[in-house]
Homo-oligomer: A and B are copies of this chain.
């Protein structure tokens, strides 16, 4: 087997030589194959791993300052790939674009199911570590400004569809209604609800820094809705949503609509039991604040995160008194995946007029 692997090495070596990249070390792993180290000019290192299962990987690494040309052009790399594929008589091969590490504006984020996405962020507009999270606003030429909390994209200027779907804009009337927003620090939901002639909107957001940053850098999203904490038809409470809800429950407050727009809803694909207990606590509190025929509207997770979504629905099934729910999804541009939104109400007190979407997507 080693001989076959050395032959593979010889072919790759032949391909790399014209770039001045030469083998300098070999590491033998017995049954796990061979690992070769290459080195070339300008500090280029290469590694070739020959996995006995039939996969050969070639990785080049080098440093260039941001903005300077890469040491290998795309065309050179394509030629190298083609040559290696031909020399090895490989059935298929794949050239991946350079993974860029150490950039001042990191371009990589992940989907809800941990797939790698490279964004076109070019400028960091805001960054601050608050007691609650790392708050960042970056600019993307294709998506506009984007709010990123703890390396998760929360909302970009391209994402009107997120708020439209969360509030079922045009399908639910908010005229003269009372609303409670849990979270929503980007101000998009508050801004959109204020256009609908509501009676009063209360928003509880824990992180003042998020609101200030969005008021400055995401103005196309939040308008002037967060310029002051109190307006004719709205109030922003800077505080903990759970504590505020507990207080409201004691006071007997009720809202026609409660919105779940918290950032700390368990979006990991591997959420802990405690996180879900915490989530159910929020859910129970939110539902207990609903006026008769009220609706709880919440975002949930990416459509691909089946486990998290079924956990979400499991929690809904455990609520007492029992609830009914409907759901819908919309592709959110900056998330680069479709996102799922839920509408929840008490079985014993359904919405007076169920909007079409709630009826048609009724699940329980």
Contact = CB atoms under 8 A, between A and B. Distances in A.
Interface in A114-134: 114-120
Interface stretch (A52-60, A163-171, A198-206, A233-241): A52-60
Interface stretch (A102-110, A217-225, A252-260): A102-110
Interface string A10-54: 000000000000001101010111010101001101010101011
Contact of A142 (B59, B114, B116, B304): B304
A351 interface: no
Contacts of A67: none
A362 interface: no
A96 interface: yes
Each complex incorporates copies of this chain amounting to: 2
A40 B139 CA distance: 41
Interface stretch (A280-288, A312-320, A330-338): A330-338
A299 to B, nearest CB: 16
A55 B101 CA distance: 8
B25 A27 contact: yes
A113 interface: yes
B47 A45 contact: yes
Contact of A331 (B27, B118, B333): B333
A265 to B, nearest CB: 19
A63 B53 contact: yes
B336 A117 contact: yes
Contacts of A61: 47, 49, 57, 59
28 contacts: A24-B27, A25-B25, A25-B37, A29-B43, A32-B42, A33-B43, A35-B37, A37-B47, A45-B47, A57-B101, A57-B102, A74-B270, A94-B101, A94-B106, A96-B108, A96-B116, A97-B114, A99-B99, A99-B116, A113-B120, A115-B119, A116-B117, A120-B304, A141-B303, A142-B337, A142-B338, A158-B338, A336-B336
